[in-house]
Structure 1
Amino acid sequence: MEVKTSENHLRVYKMKKKVLRKQVRAQHTLMRHEGIECVSHGTQSLVIANAGLGNGMSRQQLLKIVEEYGLVETLLMPPNKPYSFVKYGTTEEAKKAFDALNGKEVTLEDFGQNIVLYINFVEKVFCKNAVPTSLPPGLMVIENIISPEEERRMLESIDWVGDEDTQNAQQTLRHRRVKHFGYEFCYDNNNVDKDKPLPGGLPEICNLFLEKCLKQGYIKHKPDQLTVNQYEPGQGIPPHIDTHSAFEDEIISLSLGAEIVMDFKHPDGHTVAIMLPRCSLLVMAGESRYLWTHGITPRKYDVVQASELGRKVGTITADVRDLTLNRRETRTSFTFRKVRRSPCNCIYPSVCDSQKGHQRQLQPSFPHNEMEASKLEQEYVHQVYEEIARHFSSTRHSPWPRIVEFLKSLPKGSIVADVGCGNGKYLGINEDLYMVGCDRSKNLVDICGEKNLEAFVCDALSVPIRSGSCDACISIAVIHHFSTAERRLASIRELARLLRPGGTALIYVWAMEQEYKNQKSKYLKEKNGSRDKEEEISAATAQRPLSDQMPDSGRRGLARSDRPLNDGKDEVSSAEPVTDSRLPVHTNRTSFHSQDLLVPWHLKGGTKKKGESVNTASFTAGSKESQELSPVFHRYYHVFCEGELEAACRSLDCVRVQKSYYDQGNWCVVLEKL
């Protein structure tokens, strides 16, 4: 009897030791990859590893588990993450849950797979809600557009078996079943043959519905093409834009049989997940139809609002406190379009197949002499910053820590020139310095004046300051706008001219390498317009999934359910090298594929007045109408490879490189005047 008792004690001891080891491993993983700091003392809040939406735990199941140990004030399940947070009413309740749940094996209700929970205490957690809360411009979702009886009749009208030999028979694609009416959509060229209509036209049952849509103003023209898609759970459709030249503006899609989450993505990288309820109508017009991609991620579960079980129209992650998993069911979509009979003349020529040739004619070429370089910079740097100055300034308010460190390290009373000062965000960093700024943009210098900062207009190649009069200079994100190596070197030489012997200059330029030492830069990680929002109890979400870092039992399902709209494998960057000398247009928030390129700036909040001149850099705006609809401007950049900036500096006899480093997607150098 004593021997058996000893064996049991040993077995329990080994089990506890194993649980502790995996708990500590989870703790380190959460800190390293998610920025979640665990503590050793008891608190009201717990982080539960392996119990998240990302690995198949639903809100209902987790709430049922944690409620056994006390009053749950908050349950927070970050989207697509394999962990969750729970806050109890008291620390004692949290300790009780910690003791009972740490190392506990549970079965995922919807998946029938066992997982092991690993618990840690946390003091403060915060949640990055990176998903925008507004619909893409021009997009509408109309709920209950048809009755359940109408839905039944429309679904029964589609014979997936009986007409396999007819011209409008189904196609069985890898991701779904498809049928076409009116005109067949050809997937080899993503277009329709306008001279070969299918016999029979659209199904008769659709006429009353389309008349209703015309009357309500959802469409301007009666559609003559219908694509019916049937999606089984786990199926989807890759992100795409319906070919501009194939169809007119409004495209409408009816969701029948089940609800679905559709992902929309803007060219600048930010995405919006939209819930399409059963019997709802999706209307895509304007920007949402022509500029944003839309697609359905192949998976068997969607992350939805728990309170309304996915019935909420709009973004489905607007409230990160109320998310759960929703099992997909068979969904059939009726997508109606009007075949276009003339070329598309939309205001988005950068993604328009009808205007691609015209756009390439307008794209500037790489400069081959000083005159061409000066003209390129005038049109694609100077004029652009004059146009976007106010919007640009509104996005430039947080000083970079290492630049602040450089300025605060300078002796009291130092005279410092900020060459290319922009809106002057560094001019007031250290009140013990005498700082003056200069910039090529008059509108940016005017903004400095409004802040009572000292700044004047000049070119960085010719700064009207006496030689040797500055103790220090900074040049932040300026030199990469010069379009030849000679002009970039001249701008560095001009900085050296301003310095007294022993004076120092700090230079920052964009790096070609946006992923350095296995770490992605903020440029790749951040989404346009996103800001961290701290909540009373919220979760820090990092950019990397935790699936490969968690114990094996926590990995299940994450690879499928967490897959982003575009995982990069199929993404085609517009910054690919071109066969001629035309400068490629970069796709924002993606890696660079060319050193010399044009980077889009999507102007927000400002409109052009009629008759006012438009900078030629905004060639993607295309028409007068576009001047009043958030034009897209393009700035020239030369992104520097590792060692390139340092080599240029070393080619000057009058300076020496004190140090060089990489800082969040920038190559940086500190020079000393000899």
Structure 2
Amino acid sequence: MAAPSVGMDIHHQNNFKLSKTEKKSLRKQIKARNTLLRHEGIEAVSYATQNLVVANGGLGNGVSRKRLLPVLEQCGSVDALLMPPNKPYSFVRYKTAEESRKAYDTLNGQEIADDLGQKIILYLNFVEKAQWKELRLQALPPGLVVIEEIVSSEEEKMLLESINWTEDKDNKNFQKSLKHRRVRHFGYEFHYENNNVDKEKPLPGGLPDVCESILEKWLKEGYIKHKPDQLTVNQYEPGHGIPAHIDTHSAFEDEILSLSLGSEIVMDFKNLEGITVQVMLPCRSLLVMTGESRYLWTHGITPRKFDTVQASGHYNSGIITSDIGDLTLSKRGVRTSFTFRKVRHTPCNCSYSSVCDSQRKETSPSFPENAKEASLLEQEYVHRVYEKIAGHFSSTRHTPWPCIVEFLKALPSGSIVADIGCGNGKYLGINKDLYMIGCDRSQNLVDICRERQFQAFICDALAVPMRSGFCDACISIAVIHHFATAERRVAAVQELVRLLRPGGKALIYVWAMEQEYTNQKSKYLRGKRISPGKKEKINSDASVEGLLVERVPDVGSRDSASSVPSVSDVQERRCKSRQVTNSELPVHTNRTSFHSQDVLVPWHLKGNSGKDKAVEPFGPVGSHDPSSIFHRYYHVFCDGELEAACQTLSNVSILKSYYDQGNWCVILQKSD
């Protein structure tokens, strides 16, 4: 039967004699329409037009042009199929509105297979015109060059055959496989925990003989300036990748070389201003990173089984363009990369002193050994910093996160709610039916709250001047990770619980050790606890809430009966992270993996304009001034650690725990 009008209110669907399945499909169609409007600004109309937006049918949803176009053409002559990169939707324009209406009636709720063979359901809505947030076409990062066909197919075969993945493990050249890929090192072993090598421990044998003649040829032809003495060979299966990173300045000379063999790949480059450039690396091509691209831009490979590429196969200097009429998906093959480096034996003297480990003059503080040292550390690297960056920080904190909004809007009307560590107060006005009050240690942030007509006061999160049992609910968003010992973090949770009445609930968010590194906006999967490792099952880069839920297995929420490790167990495990061996807190490199749970995270500030956005490892990014860099202390939590801290309190039960865009989160309830 024909689908009801897209403009029809969900409550009026009973006017049609719909089956239960049809009613469910209609609800999901309307949800898709509302989600696209809320998150992408795509507005549907209630009358037939030539244009349709196809939810769940996009490159970011694992659906290629080759897969979707034949389905659409069953309903009429397709004038254009526009597929924005990394989005789980597309636009189709038919020759006539009648053909568009036929597609709307026929394909809404239809199940098709994506390029992995998984079933998805299409939801279509009429639009006046195709509209999307256009990506700016960027030039290659300065100093980056892609040289195609640098080796012949015969040389490729010799290079691949030179790597013996089954070599005897007793050989010092052998490197056991990492979690997601096979790795071999030559010359020196590359240490992924610090992107460096031990210069005092060269590996025997040097580089493979087959590389010598090829490197000499590149030198002679002027493609490279230094002859490498270190080689890392990585083998990437489809779906695998590598986190964004910058090779340590002092470890290697200016050139970093990456030879792609076996299969093409798209590599992501990102700078401190948040500019992202996706670069196609064809098979048998050489990537040469020098200068700014070597020292300032992170490079990494997003773990996915398909890349967004030009359907025509034509690239502008290797860049994936924003021509959405010429984009499709390319299935990845097995890629083997030969990464060549020249080990540096003198300090780095690059032009980027503010981010250069050889030239940074400041020394990091030591990890605190007692409560007094922890308090002093927090004073210097949390409280003082937020006072300095308050205005700039506030300018980057304007969009509420859906799961937090959902928690606040679900509370009964008239509830008294405290936001402990409220920052600029972005959650204080979410639900007008609540009586919300905020507090923060920063005078300047509290002043911003008051300018916005919110109720807020200054206090320490460990000693909130409110009577016990006063609140129906509390929220603590990105606060507890700033406390420098496990005892102080538990005390912060205990203070939240003290404020609650019996039966009251608290929502806590802290930064997660486990992170994803992708270019898309955050993903939200309501009601599901998805660990970063399992998120790989959600193919590609979709960023629109709700459109992908049907294709993800419901892994459920962890409740209070779940087995949760103790705080001491989690601390001992330390997320299998590298310990701070010399007690000095490491400075985290933004937009790279965490290698320690206790770190200093840089905040780049430019003047007092308030217009420049900040540099966060997982949040918004913007311009920076190397003369104004502040470091904030963080203890990033590993999986289970926040729950363990909560369960040390006898009067608490955990209602729900989940992972939300780089944070571990719990909803707890105070016992009667």
Flag whether TM exceeds 0.5 (same fold): yes
Contact 2:245–2:592 (CA under 8 A) maintained in structure 1: no
Structure 1 SS opposite 2:212: helix
Partner of 1:306: 311
C-alpha separation in 1, matches of 2:248 and 2:614: 23
Matched, 1:85 2:82: no
Counterpart mapping for 1:140-159 below 5 A: 140-159=145-164
- Secondary structure of the 1:85 match is strand
1:205-244 maps to which residues of 2 (within 5 A)?
Answer: 205-244=210-249
- The answer to whether the Cα contact below 8 Å between 1:350 and 1:359 also exists between their aligned partners in 2 is no
Q: Cα distance 1:178–1:129, how it changes in 2: closer, same or farther (>3 A)?
A: same
Q: Provide, for residues 57-84 of structure 1, a one-character-per-residue CA deviation record: whole Å limited to 9, x for no partner.
A: 1110111111222222221112222211
Equivalent in the alignment of 1:335: 339
Residues 1:101 and 2:98 are matched in the alignment = no
What is the identity, as a one-letter code, of the residue corresponding to 1:32?
R
Deviation at 1:216, TM superposition (A): 2.8
2:29 is aligned to 23
- TM-score w.r.t. length of structure 2: 0.56
Are 2:259 and 1:254 equivalent residues in the alignment? yes
For 1:333 and 1:50, locate their aligned partners in 2 and report how far apart those are by CA, in whole Å.
33
**How far apart are the structure 2 equivalents of 1:55 and 1:242?**
32
Aligned residue type for 2:53: V
- Please give the alpha-carbon distance, in whole angstroms, between the structure 2 residues aligned to 1:27 and 1:86: 15
Q: Which residue of 2 aligns with 1:162?
A: 167
2:350 to 328, 346, 351: 346
> Is residue 305–residue 312 contact of structure 1 (8 Å, CA) maintained in 2?
no
Q: Give 1:38's aligned residue.
A: 44
Q: Does 2:58 correspond to 1:58?
A: no
- The answer to whether the 8 A contact 2:603-2:615 is kept is no
- Which letter maps to 1:98? Y
1:128 Cα deviation (Å)? 1.7
Residue identity opposite 2:286 in structure 1: L
Structure-2 change in CA distance of 1:217 and 1:300 (3 Å): same
Report the CA distance shift for 1:298/1:119 in structure 2 as closer, same or farther (over 3 A): same
- The Cα of 1:54 is off from its aligned counterpart by 1.9
Paired amino acid for 2:95: G
Matched residue, 2:574:
none
Counterparts in 2 of 1:42 and 1:279: CA distance versus 1, 3 Å: same
Q: Residues 476-504 of structure 1, C-alpha deviation per residue, up to 9 Å, x if partnerless?
A: xxxxxxxx989x99xxxxxxxxxxxxxxx
Matches within 5 A, 1:319-334: 319-334=323-338
Q: Name the counterpart of 1:180.
A: 185
The answer (yes or no) to whether the contact 1:43–1:94 under 8 Å persists in 2 is: yes
Summarize the Cα distance change of 1:145–1:636 in structure 2 as closer, same or farther, 3 Å threshold: closer
Answer 1 or 2: higher relative contact order, Cα 8 Å, separation at least 6: 1
SS in 1 for 2:358: coil
Q: Which structure 2 residues correspond to residues 478-627 of structure 1 after superposition, within 5 A?
A: 548-550=545-547, 552-553=549-550, 570=593, 585=604, 589-590=613-614, 601=623, 620=626
Residue 11 of structure 1 deviates from its aligned partner by 9.0
CA contact (8 A) 2:40 2:133 kept: no
- How far has the Cα of 1:14 moved from its partner? 4.4
Distance 1:312 1:68, change over 3 A: farther
Amino acid at match of 2:356: C
Q: Return closer, same or farther for 1:601/1:259 CA change in 2, 3 Å cut-off.
A: closer
Larger radius of gyration: 1
Q: In structure 1, what is the equivalent of residue 292 of structure 2?
A: 287
Q: Partners of 2:203 and 2:631 in 1: how far apart?
A: 49
The alpha-carbon deviation at position 186 of structure 1 amounts to 3.0
Is 1:196–2:193 an aligned residue pair? Answer: no
Alpha-carbon distance change, 298 to 166 in structure 1, aligned in 2, over 3 angstroms: same
**Aligned: 1:112 with 2:109:** no
| Distance 1:223-1:61 versus aligned 2 partners, 3 A rule | same
CA distance in 2, matches of 1:106, 1:122: 22
Secondary structure of the residue aligned to 1:152 is: helix
Q: Aligned partners of 2:629 and 2:355: how far apart in 1?
A: 18
State whether residues 50 and 553 of structure 1, in contact with CA within 8 Å, keep that contact through their aligned partners in structure 2.
no
Shift of 1:217: 2.2
Q: Distance in 1 between matches of 2:197 and 2:232?
A: 12
Aligned equivalents of 1:344 and 1:592: distance in 2?
25
Number of the residue aligned with 2:6:
none
Q: What residue number does 2:470 align with?
A: none
Structure 1 residue 552: deviation in Å?
A: 3.8
For 1:567 and 1:27, the matched residues in 2 are separated by 35
Distance in 1, Cα, partners of 2:270 & 2:357: 19
**DSSP-derived class of the 1:61 partner:** helix
- Which one-letter code corresponds to 1:130 in the other structure? L
Give the partner amino acid of 2:550. S
Query: Does 2:320 align with 1:316?
Result: yes
Q: Which secondary structure does the structure 2 equivalent of 1:249 belong to?
A: strand
Q: Quick one: structure 1 residues 635 and 186, their matched pair in 2 at CA, closer, same or farther if it must change by over 3 Å?
A: closer
Contact 1:256–1:279 (CA under 8 A) maintained in structure 2: yes
* Contact 1:263-1:271 at 8 Å conserved across structures: yes
Residues 569, 210 of structure 1: alpha-carbon distance in 2 compared, 3 angstrom cutoff: closer
Question: Would you say how many aligned residue pairs link Structure 1 and Structure 2?
Answer: 444
Kindly provide the CA deviation profile for residues 395-425 of structure 1, in whole angstroms up to 9, marking residues without a partner as x: xxxxxxxxxxxxxxxxxxxxxxxxxxxxxxx
**Alignment deviations for residues 595-646 of structure 1 (CA, whole Å, 9 cap, x no partner):** xxxx9855xxxxxxxxxxxxxxx7x4xxxxxxxxxxxx549999xxxxxxxx
* Gap regions ≥5 residues in structure 2: 1-15, 366-383, 390-441, 459-475, 479-506, 508-517, 520-540, 555-588, 607-611, 633-672
CA contact 1:586–1:592 (8 Å) conserved in 2: no
Q: 1:207 to 1:567 in 2, by over 3 A?
A: closer
Trace 1:410-425 onto structure 2 (pairs within 5 A): none
Q: Please report how far the alpha carbon of residue 570 of structure 1 lies from its aligned counterpart in structure 2 after TM superposition.
A: 4.2
Do the aligned partners of 2:52 and 2:127 also contact (CA within 8 Å) in 1? Answer: yes
Give the partner amino acid of 2:93. K
SS in 1 for 2:33: helix
